[in-house]
Amino acid sequence: MKSASSSIIYSLEGSLTKLLLVSGQLVIHSSIACLAAAIRLSKNVSLVKDVLIRYHSFIIECQEKIIEKPKEECKGSAQLARSIYILGVLCKYFDVERSEYDDLQFSVDDIFQLFMFFIERNDSVVKLKSVVGLGFFLQRYGHYLVEDAVRQLYHTYLLDRRPIAAQLRCQVLINLEEYFRDCIRRMAEQDVDYLNIPTTTNTHHDENSNDTHGITGANLKDTADVHSEMASSIAQCYLRIVLDTYLSEDEIIRQCVRKVVTCILEQGLVHPVQFIPFLIAMTTDRDINIQQSAEQNLQDLDKTNPGIIQTKVMQGFKMSYQLQKLLTMQNAKQSDPQADIIRGMTKLTVISWNSQQLPYCSVNHFLYSLIRSS
């Protein structure tokens, strides 16, 4: 794309903005990501402003109608949900706090308040898309995650055990996962930039950076440390409730928790001892992906922190029992004749025909083997 002519880039930008009108979520997200790459070359900030103003204005119009007639349903909720989603993705890829956007009639906080307003609506589609859009917004403006409004919102959804709230619980976990993954990507990019400073200083500015100013020279590493400290604070803020959310009969929720835990462990944002009881419970999960991920995490922790697993073994056993009890209750609802019995053994998925091994093993067999080997 760097060698493309200006006319080709401008044509591409126009086509990408048109895709936002008719495409689905995946195409919209990819289109805006591609648009961000094109804008970095063309410096056509006015196009971004036009797109931001267009969707922000439409959302404001809907908000005013709802405020005037709160008891009436807002017509065109599908278009509203689409606009909220697009606004969120735009905030992920373009920093409205930069000086180029000073002439906009709205601020970052105004956009944040818009998301919070529509999250409180009764329309389930608008509510969900607002949570999704807020997640994209928070990937760039992560400091809102430690503010009371977002903390209370996320805690409320994660504590809601009703089946009808499962989708929102999953989305909150996805939002947190995406934030931590974006931190990994952002800090990796900054590490590369830091290594290349002698030859690349002041060559370009990355629009997709999470900072409001260009990062060059000596302040690059300091900025990376600030991002890491912010991510660590956010991880500590949400870790306990995320871990508690794992104890659920809903497999999708458990998978989402596993992904958040993996992201936090990969970055070393908090001390790993807090994870051990839940990781031990995850090794007994019926989902093979959760099992394998937890086993790998425990092996890595045992290598880097010898003896740390043993300090939380009993808590891990208790957590495993709580998980198996939940799963057993779920089977009882499905009329399993043996659902009232909580077994400490499980059937092996793969058995060699020449092996004399029985088709069953302990639910905690991995933990036993890990403790014996250490």
- Parallel, antiparallel or unpaired: strands 345-347 and 360-362: antiparallel
Tell me which long-range contacts 319-322 makes (C-beta under 8 A, separation of at least 24).
319/247, 319/277, 319/278, 319/280, 319/281, 320/280, 320/281, 320/283, 320/284, 320/363, 320/364, 322/247, 322/281
Integer Cα distance of 112 and 232 in angstroms: 22
Which residues are within 8 A (CB) of 275 and not within 5 positions of it... i.e. 6 or more apart? Answer: 243, 261, 264, 265, 297, 301
Q: Does the pLDDT at position 127 exceed 50?
A: yes
Closest CA to 260 of 185, 321, 172, 324: 172
Q: Does the pLDDT at position 241 exceed 50?
A: yes
Q: Model confidence over 327-336: pLDDT tens digits?
A: 887 766 655 5
Q: Model confidence over 151-164: pLDDT tens digits?
A: 999 999 999 999 88
Question: Quick one: pLDDT at residue 188?
Answer: 75
Closest CA to 142 of 227, 223, 215, 221: 227
Lowest-confidence segment of 47-51, 80-84, 131-135, 216-220 by average pLDDT: 216-220
State the pLDDT confidence band at 204, using cuts at 50, 70 and 90: very low
Question: Quick one: pLDDT at residue 319?
Answer: 93
184-222 burial, b at 16+ Cβ within 10 Å, e below that, comes to eebbeebeebeeeeeeeeeeeeebbbbbeeebeeeebee
Integer Cα distance of 281 and 315 in angstroms: 9
Question: Quick one: pLDDT at residue 354?
Answer: 52
Lowest-confidence segment of 46-55, 146-155, 273-282, 349-358 by average pLDDT: 349-358
Beta-strand (E) ranges in the chain? Answer: 345-347, 360-362
Whole-model pTM?
Answer: 0.85
Integer Cα distance of 347 and 358 in angstroms: 9
